[in-house]
Amino acid sequence: MRVLGIETSCDETGIAIYDTEQGLLAHQLYSQVKLHADYGGVVPELASRDHVRKTLPLINAALEQAQLTPAQLDGVAYTMGPGLVGALLVGSCIGRSLAYGWQLPAVGVHHMEGHLLAPMLEDNQPQFPFVALLVSGGHTQLVQVKGIGDYALLGESIDDAAGEAFDKTAKLMGLDYPGGPRLAKLAEQGRSGLYRFPRPMTDRPGLDFSFSGLKTFTANTLAASDHEQQTLADIARAFEDAVVDTLVIKCRRALEQTGYKRLVIAGGVSANKHLREQLAALMKKLKGEVFYPRTEFCTDNGAMIALAGALRLQAGERQPLAIKTFPRWPMTDLSPMKAVG
């Protein structure tokens, strides 16, 4: 089954074509970073307008890259939520309309399920069941995954998500947008152990997260510092160490609670080198295995939507003609289905 995937939930326009037998056939991505840089963050109206401009040209480019015509597709998948409502409407309207015009089945995909399944784009694919750590700008969640659509939420952030905390802290440090990756880059120059930041909510039972306090702690530390470049790098390192240690501690608890030996990490923050190193060390100690997508598929992309859509279309799911979007959409509301192939 060949499926066109459309991702427009925030500030990336991602288009891909996935074949359930041959794998990924085409992948096109346009980032709006430059568009939003002057504002220090995503402006929803500008994001929606840019998706309008970019989605159809990228679809044409993907078809050309795969050397396919619409008649050779078997379905269309698009992100139906969660995300920015205007951006979601662009992709949903285009995706559902193209499917109708091309007489193809359509399916709306949950953005976070796309991230969760992204490691299955790789040769080394995780087998069910596993624990998934989903870490992005909008979500930090630990999920027990028994199968596609069979999810149980183990823990989540009660305030800022990990990626959001990175971005807000980077802004406090005067780093340009997008701040999270720039803070991680600065942290590479920092010396570990010079500052000791708290590991929030690790001194109590449970699997929920809280990162807003780290932002405040960083602000206070910055106020008392000399703001030299090396000092800023040391503070960035201390912040990153605190976030990573917290995530690793909670992952270990989730694995012990479920008894699973497989861990999946996905979402934009899963590209963080320090996080990958620490989770690899954890899984080696636990005699388990960690899985993650290649860096280009950690952030929002069409490939994960095409893959998730293909699996659900194969299972017989279909989207009616009515166009719906869900800016807020708990992943546990999804219907379970049997894993395919």
Q: Is 5 annotated as belonging to a binding site?
A: no
226 is in an annotated binding site: no
Q: Is 124 annotated as a binding residue?
A: no
Residues 256 and 277: their CA atoms lie apart, in Å, by: 20
Return the number of other C-beta atoms located less than 10 Å from residue 187's C-beta. 25
- What does each C-alpha distance from 28 to 18, 63, 76, 243, 246 come to in angstroms? 12, 10, 15, 31, 34
| DSSP assignments along 160-179, one per residue | S-HHHHHHHHHHHTTPPSSH
How far is it, in rounded angstroms, from Cα 265 to Cα 141? 10
Query: Is 134 assigned a ligand-binding role in the annotation?
Result: yes
75 marked as binding residue: no
**CA angle, 331 then 337 then 341, to 5°:** 120
Tell whether residue 137 is among the known ligand binding residues.
yes
Helix (H, G, I), strand (E, B), or coil: what is residue 333? helix
263 annotated to bind ligand = no
What b/e sequence results for 164-173 when a residue is b if at least 16 CB atoms lie within 10 Å of its CB, and e otherwise? bbbbbbbbbb
CA–CA gap between residue 104 and residue 108 (Å, rounded): 13
**H helix intervals, 23-75:** 33-37, 44-66
**CA-CA-CA-CA torsion sign (40, 46, 48, 53):** negative
Residue 81 among known ligand-binding residues: no
| 136 marked as part of a ligand binding site | yes
Question: Per the annotation, where are the binding residues for substrate?
Answer: 134-138, 167, 180, 272
- Annotated binding site for Fe cation: which residue ranges? 111, 115, 300
Binding site as annotated, residues: 111, 115, 134-138, 167, 180, 272, 300
